[in-house]
Structure 1
Amino acid sequence: MRGRKLLMLKNLMITLSRWITGFVFIFSGFVKGVDPMGSAIKFTDYFTAFRLDFMIPLAEELALLLILAEYMVGAALLLGFRIREASWGALIFMIFFLPLTLYLAIFNPVSDCGCFGDALVLTNWETFYKNCIISIPVVMAFLTRKEKPLSIPLWKEALLLAASLALILYVSLYGLTHMPLIDFRPYHIGSNIPEKMKIPEGAPTDEYETILVYEKDGKQQEFTLDNYPWQDTTWTWVETRSVLVSEGYKPPIDDFMVTDRNGNDVTRDILSDPGFVFLLISYDLEKARESSLIRADSLSWHASAGGMRFYGLTASPEMVIESKQEKLGLSYPFLLADETLLKTIVRSNPCLILLKEGTVVNKWSARDVPSRAPGSVLLLAESLNTLRKSGDRWWAFSVFAGLLLFSIFIKILPDKMTGS
């Protein structure tokens, strides 16, 4: 009896280790797959931080490869096919990422690792601790990869593989060619930018400590305001600096700033306009899809005729702006913003967003930029706003859950289908 209980406990631990590992890998792959351009941007940050600039052109392809690998490893472990190969895959991931995240935590070359995309942003130390915890079921799944084997017919494996691959490919390719099915960023449809910039009353603020550096007999020493040698003339002041001791509350949006080409801040003017404001955002005009820029020019004429404002918004220098305007005959005026901010707001280059009193009413990717602005669409946009901001998310999760349930259904089908 005791031996039987131990065997049951062992089998339970094997199953749990595979399920936990599988779920984490599926979640990580899925939230990255929803926004593959965000993952590509994070790859670019890594390459820049580690001085691997020659790899930047491969960022998009490597991001997609990572997404597919993570998701398929997770799906295999969770659904129970190709357990040995998936266990090896999970272990290789952890062997690579555990020391990498320790390095990131110590030296902080990038602000966050991006392991869960924008869905769940962790600090570098939080990511390292998370990897330490996840390593336990990963190692357990690897050590028991030959135990409790599941004999799955080839046709089942093929269907499970196809269903898993179809889901992650569809989600990723849709995010690449259009907009992310689920927008985890603070600039999603329905988001009110001014509200996201507010700091609640009574919220903690950044706390700094003043450090004073003095020198004596060729040696420098640091002091605080409480113990610096202000009466000892043998010490010579060198410098004063402020050190962040405690980080205060940071609003979801803390860097939204738009200027005109003369450097004047027009942020408030853009966000407080009671009418509709179109912003055609291109973080890099030189690499922007020119057909979209031209279609947007036609749209700007219709928008102006309807009493709406239309601006291009870019981080490109003046020379590039003038060159594009002259080459393509663009008539809409351009405003300026930080490149990192623009890459956070949009993923495609360019991308069109529609604002009303600071609320993101709609977004269009480069492929979907319209050439006209029918009044009926604009009148309906605001009323459909609430439906859209929740509908996309739940629809995407429904697709995810549906295909996962389909995969489970395939798994529990009889191995042999015989007729009567």
Structure 2
Amino acid sequence: MADFAYAYVQASSLTPSATGNVLSLAAYAEDAPARGAACFFRGGLRNSWLAARGLTTLAKVVASRFVPQSAALRDPIVTAGAGLLRFEAFSSCNGVYARLDLGPEALDGEFLASGTTNVDFNEPMVNALARVARTEPVLLRVGEQEIVLERAAGTVTERKVSLPERWIKGLTAVQGYLATMEERLILNRVQATQLVQGLPAGASRGELFLVLRGSRPSFVPLSSAGAVRVGGAHRLRLLDGLLPLCESLRVYATADGQASAFVLALGGGHEFVLALSAETNRGFSGEGNQLDTLLDELPAEWIAGANKLFRGNETFNPSLFALENDLAPGTVDRLCASLSAMGLLGFDLRSNHYFYRRLPFKMERILKLNPRLKNARALLEAADDVQLVGVGAGGRSEVRVRGTDVWHTVLVGGSEPPRCTCQWFTGNQGQRGPCKHILAAQLRFGTEAG
């Protein structure tokens, strides 16, 4: 997977001033002009100690890795707009997603612009956050009003950070899972503290299920009615510092148990979300749970237009958007699916709606992030690599697709889910999105093949 470098004009910092400490987050946007990059927000934190605890936990997540060979990834993104700041990040192994939301109650300042940027989350700044006292005033400034993104020899110091493109793909998969989750449990502060206390010692190798035994949350090895599947439950120890501070903890999960999420209401407009992949060794970036939504390509100008139209954190309601713009519901459904699959939409579990994020990358980069779909399109370049064998009862189609050393049989269409004889499908049974052979069959034969 290709990496690309980010250049920051200066390091993020927490520095003292006459009116209190100033938290300045160095920002980057790949498609920003060389001069005059916007300052998204500047102002105070109403509860700087609580906000600092949330940011410290976010830093703890991005510094963690639960798969040894995973690369370090240190830089979260922040989306500003609609009176909110949302900080989002992944663990280095990409199997844990975290988000800190600072709502209007948590902020005392002004939004000068709306958008999403990557921020430099360096070690000195993280260490300074950990030392913020309970009564200590902190001013927050996201970005700079005057930023020179080009190198200016002798006067500006650049800090380059290599970020893998899987980071954007992870946002895609997480949103897809969050949008289908259902609320399973609501725990109070005492129960939330007991949650981690009930974890088995060490790293949990197999899957565990979260249940309530009386009023106490417990982890058990077997599923039962109402149980929440939690793969790699030891990852919940990331929340150690926040669970005693929360007013409530809501637990969500997908119906098929492929992901779970824990939402901590911290009070005063502070909320923290932690989402876990189904297994420790499964990163969100490799799930491919929304690849089929990209089969029907939309014109690039539609996507670019939407990216200019919507502001950061703005609620995206597909039905309302269709009415306001006199668009057919099917057209808006396609647009919504494409935006979601490209990571331009996030999902808020508590309010149960999508929110928009304008990713700080050039649009053409976002459009090229799905190698499985790219490989499927490559199969179509040869006329005989994807062959329709026949259509059976109920519209179920059998398709032969050329593999590396063998032909694969693909079954698509009808009322049953697609199936393939390849190793990827055999190992995952469709739980991590369709394989390239299924995608190729659907691309070649369209509705005839499901």
Q: What TM-score do you get using the length of structure 1 for normalisation?
A: 0.28
Greater fraction helix: 1
**The structure with more strand, counted as a fraction of residues:** 2
- Higher Rg: 1
- State the TM-score, normalizing by the size of structure 2: 0.26
